[in-house]
Amino acid sequence: MVELFLLLSKSPSHAIELLSEGGSYTIKLLSEMFAYVFLVRALAVGLLVSLCAALLGVSLVLKRYSMIGDGLSHVAFFALALATALHAAPLPVAVPVVVLAACLLLRLSERSKIKGDAAIALISTGALAVGVIIISKSTGMNTDVCNYLFGSILAMRVSDVILSVILSVMVLVLFVLFYNKIFAITFDEGFARASGVNTNGYNLLIAMLTALTIVLGMRMMGALLITGLIIFPALSSMRVCKRFGRVVVCSAVVSVLCFFLGVVASYVFSIPTGACVVAVNIVAFLVFSFAGVLKESLEL
């Protein structure tokens, strides 16, 4: 940045020429990216999924249920293994299986002696173990299985895109419709229950929407990395924002921008998309953490 200012002071015309060259390179890069149909599909689905994940992530982090994404991603791996063994399409199999797992997880947490993180560990490790057994006895660790574990935007089909867009829009509409109730049970579930709010029903709604988001993002991010879309944007926005509404909006913006920048970086440096998106989210978290510390020091 200092070099840019020195260049502007000594030779403004040359500096402007360099900036214009950088802008033309960016436009050329984006035009090259959008020329690939699979990248357009990945961006269309990924931006919607990252938006859904960010909105749900705020409530999950505040309720200290952020690891539910990690648990459900392991269940999604089991669903993938089952679909592979049955030679069926992955998404139609994974959606009901992961939604049922989310319901079971809430039931275990609320009505049994197994609470919170223990219930998540029980379901996630059990599902992962059964998934590994199914794969080892059927097709083995082929390329398709690795794509679902670590993510691949090359495998997005038109049917996957259509189903993903429909389910993503459904998640967004339900979140907006029940925003006030979700806000109430996030901050004070006991008071919300005493006020007549069906807290169990809305907790189940959050779990089901999270399950759908996990399944939709698994294709691009991978079952092992999809939790990053849920946790990082919420944690980053909480570094600088203190009101729930502002945290939700900031988290949504951060998630969408980080996903887009991650896809661009993945294309430029030939890095797997899921890992690249998570890496960009880590950088954003560090930047927001520094900004939060700076903001607190200025307020003192």
In this prediction, residue 19 carries a pLDDT of 43
In this prediction, residue 114 carries a pLDDT of 67
In this prediction, residue 95 carries a pLDDT of 84
Residue-averaged pLDDT of the chain? 79
Q: Quote the pTM value.
A: 0.81
Tens of pLDDT, residue by residue over 119-137, are: 778 888 888 888 888 887 7
Q: What share of the chain in percent tops pLDDT 90?
A: 11
Quick one: tokens of 203? Answer: 């907790």
What's the distance, CA 251 to chain centroid? 11
For residues 145 and 139, the answer to whether their CB atoms sit within 8 Å is: yes
Tens of pLDDT, residue by residue over 139-191, are: 665 556 666 677 777 666 777 778 778 877 888 888 888 888 888 888 777 88
Averaged pLDDT, 277-300:
87
Amino acid identity of residue 300, one-letter, is L
pLDDT band at 49 (very low <50, low <70, confident <90, very high): confident
Tens of pLDDT, residue by residue over 93-105, are: 888 888 888 888 7
Residue ranges of domains in the chain, CATH in brackets: 38-225 (1.10.3470.10)
Buried b (16+ CB within 10 A) or exposed e, 244-274: beebbbbbbebbbbbbbbbbbbbbeeeebbb
